Structure 1
């Protein structure tokens, strides 16, 4: 057996194999894996801020500052890390239409990050494991989560109580459900929305007003190729 490199841990031995499967685990990755067990995560403080990832934004965001991007990047799945952020849809550029949003996302095969600023200047949204689309049933995986800067970043991950991650209609977009409420809901014109506690994420309302008016909205994708 070859000697193992420094800073590695043996995760498991493959059957009938003399070599262990090894993976370099950084302090940052360990913190990420441990945090998945919590449905609500606060932003890092103190020395942890030094571990924040600096994502590469191909386009400029009108809703997220550099520090906010760093904090969000720290909570994204490993499969998105290292890929540039590309702006797939923006109400400021493409208008206010859910149908148009679906059209611009129709060719994507990567996760998406939905960012909303309401008329109270509060920023919040959702990470979806799959691009938004019209569907007859819910779709997505446990990677999906809700977040809110209020003003500190709070992340609400999958509770495991149900799998109502995302469902797209022509007249609305729904993220998280249960107990008769949606974690995040948007209308067909992307002008009005609501956010209530739901069983999927055991979240708090993302906006200071449970029924809110959208000021601007952006959808980001994590793709190594141009849209």
Structure 2
């Protein structure tokens, strides 16, 4: 793909245990060698009520991705949300970027539904 999205992105995931969670980024999601994004990036979950995890200011590990892995948030080798390149598996750990809870109760999960929305 030669074009790059230029709009903010909303990532929505439902795992095979019917948990819903995701991430919002004002920066478009794209392949990168390093982390990118802004402090307006956040993680969220709906289990059972809406919880939003905003930037702590402790680091700038917002988004990073290539063909094998997409990571949102990080620190100390743990990622707030990560998705495998096959888009079938992922995981979530508490991370320094967002001081979040694990978004999925099992930590690692299988993806049932995945949507990415470009917001104009």
Q: TM-score when scaled to structure 1?
A: 0.51
Distance in 2 separating the partners of 1:188 and 1:107: 18
CA contact (8 A) 2:4 2:30 kept: no
Give the ranges of 4+ consecutive aligned residues of structure 1 lying more than 4 Å apart after TM superposition.
Answer: none
Task: Work out whether 1:217 is the aligned partner of 2:114.
Answer: yes
Q: Which has the larger radius of gyration?
A: 1
Question: Counterparts in 2 of 1:150-165, with a 5 A limit?
Answer: 150-165=47-62
In 2, the alpha carbon distance for the partners of 1:189 and 1:178 equals 24
Q: Give per-residue Cα distances to partners, 1:65-90, cap 9 Å, x unaligned.
A: xxxxxxxxxxxxxxxxxxxxxxxxxx
- With a CA cutoff of 8 Å and minimum separation of 6, indicate the structure with the bigger relative contact order: 2
Unaligned runs of 5+ residues in structure 2 are: none
CA distance in structure 2 between the aligned counterparts of 1:186 and 1:112, rounded to whole angstroms: 15
Give matches, 1:14-93, under 5 Å. Answer: none
- Name the structure 2 match of 1:178: 75
Structure 2 contact 5–29 (Cα < 8 Å) conserved = no
Q: Deviations over 1:87-109 (max 9, x none)?
A: xxxxxxxxxxxxxxxx49x4321
How far 1:172 sits from its partner (Å)? Answer: 0.4
**How much is the aligned-residue C-alpha RMSD, in angstroms?**
1.2
Aligned-partner Cα distance in 2 for 1:112–1:209 = 25
Q: Hey, which of these two has a bigger chunk of strand by percent? A: 2
Scaled by the length of structure 2, the TM-score of the pair is: 0.96
Structure-1 separation of matches of 2:4 and 2:89: 26
> Quick one: distance in 2 between partners of 1:194 and 1:135?
20
Unaligned ranges ≥5, structure 1: 1-102
How many residue pairs match? The answer is 120
